[in-house]
Structure 1
């Protein structure tokens, strides 16, 4: 099936896959949404716990 014969769904999927292959960082680098999107829910939960624990430790020993 050539590009002329593909269905709209196939075309959308092909374009989406091409877009995912491109580097998504902007001039200022990656943002929190990119980081959280790549981690999944478990990784995000661990990251939040580490940040909270770090803030508590910082507050105690400041």
Structure 2
């Protein structure tokens, strides 16, 4: 039951973000200040998040080696 409530809240958040994109941007900054990264990544699975982080790190290392 708790998961259903969380999904419902997340759906409402996503709908609000679609209606008010600048407010969502402000919310993102506010969440970043508070350290809540789960709302920033939204519905992305943890596997995709890990892959994204690895790609960013590899890209940064390659950039440093090339320049």
TM-score, normalised by the number of residues in structure 2 = 0.49
Higher Cα Rg: structure 1 or 2? Answer: 1
The runs of 5 or more residues in structure 2 that have no matched partner are 18-22
Equivalence for 1:16: 9
Deviation at 1:38, TM superposition (A): 2.4
Deviation at 1:30, TM superposition (A): 5.2
Equivalence for 2:24: 25
Equivalence for 1:37: 42
- RMSD between aligned residues: 3.2
Corresponding pairs, count: 48
How has the CA–CA distance of structure 1 residues 17 and 46 changed in structure 2, closer, same or farther, with 3 Å as cutoff? closer
Q: Which has the higher helix share?
A: 2
The runs of 5 or more residues in structure 1 that have no matched partner are 1-12
